Amino acid sequence: MPVPPRLRGYRYVGVIGKGSTAYVFRYRQEATERDVAIKVGTTHLDSKAGARFKTEAVFMAKLQHPNILTVHGAGVTDDGRPYTIFEYAPNGSVKDIIAKQGVYSVEKTLDYGVQLASALYLAHRSNTVHRDLKTSNILITAQGLPAIADFGIATNIYDHRSTGYSPPWAPPEVIASHGGGDDRSDIYSLAATLYAMLAGKSPFEYAYDPHTIDELVDCILHKPAPPINRADVPQSLQRVLLKALDPDPAHRYFTALEFARALQEVQIQLYGHATPVNVQGIEPYPTRAAMATAGAQGALPAAPEAKPRNRKPLIITAIVVAVLVVFGVVFAQFILPNIDHSGDARTATVVNPGMNGSPGNDDGDDDDDAMTSVPAPIELSGKYVNNNTEVKFTWSNPDPQDGDRYAWSLVSNSGDGDQANAKLVDEPTVTVPATDGGPTCIKVSILRQDRQLSSDAVTACAAK
């Protein structure tokens, strides 16, 4: 082990850990009596190692978020070794905790997932890709928060040079092309990290037990990510993770924010509440429609009772009544009040309400981030066509830009948007099969060329 450097204003305490290119030491900042972690390079500032440390300091210092490890400073030691001063995370990494305590609960995994996806969205919005998300790079701070560490191989979101990603967490497009990946690659790696919190291992190590790196890489390239074999992991969460782990980047969530929203909706379905998204200019919770749906679902029992005897007819009746009640309440409170029926009763338009029932874009907020956020589509409406067997929806883009596309998904009669099956179109129109026995609803967002998504989708329904 190299001798810990002498740094003015800091007192050496001990060793935290080591990696392939650096040691991490614990120091005490004498002026504040605050413990910090100082990452010191193992070499004497050759160009590559020096560039890595400078990159880490630049990227992390500008990314201010509770779930990104804070950078306090950087420099070069007297003997030429680069160093970076970080917030000290006394509770170790997610990898350490899995090794010591076993897998995480579903509730904790969802909570961490929303927080980390929020931080990742902030990084991506700043055109920064992490490129090495994994359990060992998620540290637990003194406040008990998960924080993304080690932006040393992070880079601009449009820089596709080969760098970063550890094989168990790397998406197939990075392994296949040896490219640097993009924001969708980070979403994949975050999903693999959350998967490991529930399964104890990365997805392909868990499922296929490869014995070599070559076997692992072959699994990632040619085999599907399997569901987690845990009875308490709900299918809704399995679907969210497997979508984020889709081998085709185009089929994953469009942004880390959309990934966070999907995790929030699972939380609300299971527990009746959600971890807020913490990004300036972004609503902390999903739209009122999603909240209403998930809240209704969350009010139902989370698990079946002990085996009943001779109660099958009663159970079937109770289920039917419960479904009808949930549908009726949500339809009356969400869909019906917002439908503007036309004279021929074949078209309808719904203005997407905000969390407080007001239009989502009419809050008068002049915050810089809000001013630069992607707007929602406007004038979204649906009309029955082809003998009422289909509904054609059209909308307008209030701020069209080169490369704009539109992400849309069907909304069920209960108001639940099927985010796991969201699709992209290039033009502001889509035709869908008409829903039997109720209104046909969709929600739409604008997707910019830089992969920023409308902070809130707009919803519309057509009713006969």
Q: Is residue 248 located within the same domain as residue 392?
A: no
Q: If 0-12 CB within 10 Å is exposed, 13-18 middle and 19+ buried, where does residue 17 land?
A: middle
Pair (456, 365) in one structural domain: yes
Q: Which of 60, 87, 114 is the last residue of a domain?
A: 87
Containing structural domain, residue 456: 338-462
439 shares a domain with 351? yes
Q: Residue 101 belongs to a domain with what CATH number?
A: 1.10.510.10
| Within-domain flag for 219 | yes
Q: Is residue 292 part of a domain?
A: no
pLDDT digits (tens, 9 = 90+) for 316-373: 555 555 545 444 544 444 444 444 444 344 444 444 433 333 333 434 444 444 446 7
Residues 265 and 413 in one domain: no
Q: In this structure, are 363 and 237 located in the same domain?
A: no
Q: Which residues are annotated as a binding site for ATP?
A: 39
Within 10 A of 235 (CB to CB), how many other CB atoms are there?
9
In a domain, 3, yes or no: no
* CATH number of residue 421's parent domain: 2.60.40.10
Same domain, 245 and 225: yes
**Phi, then psi, of 444 in degrees rounded to 5:** -135, 140
The per-residue pLDDT for 319 is 54
State whether 146 and 267 are in the same domain: yes
Low-confidence ranges of the chain (pLDDT < 70): 45, 47, 49-50, 52-53, 55-56, 59-60, 151-165, 178-180, 288-372, 413-421, 455
Say what the pLDDT of residue 328 is: 53
| Residue at 15 is within a domain | yes
Residues 128 and 249 in one domain: yes
Counted domains in the chain: 3
Asked whether residue 18 falls in the same domain as residue 106, the answer is: no
List Cβ<8 Å contacts ≥24 apart for 371-374: 372/281, 373/281, 373/282, 373/452, 373/454, 373/455, 374/445, 374/446, 374/447, 374/448, 374/452, 374/453, 374/454, 374/455
307 is a domain residue: no
Residues 263 and 388 in one domain: no
**For position 43, what pLDDT does the model report?**
75
Domain boundary among 87, 102, 128: 87
One domain for residues 104 and 49: no
Q: Is residue 303 part of a domain?
A: no
Within a domain: residue 381? yes
Same structural domain for residues 83 and 104? no
Binding site members? 39
**In this structure, are residues 189 and 133 in contact, taking their beta carbons and an 8 Å threshold?**
yes
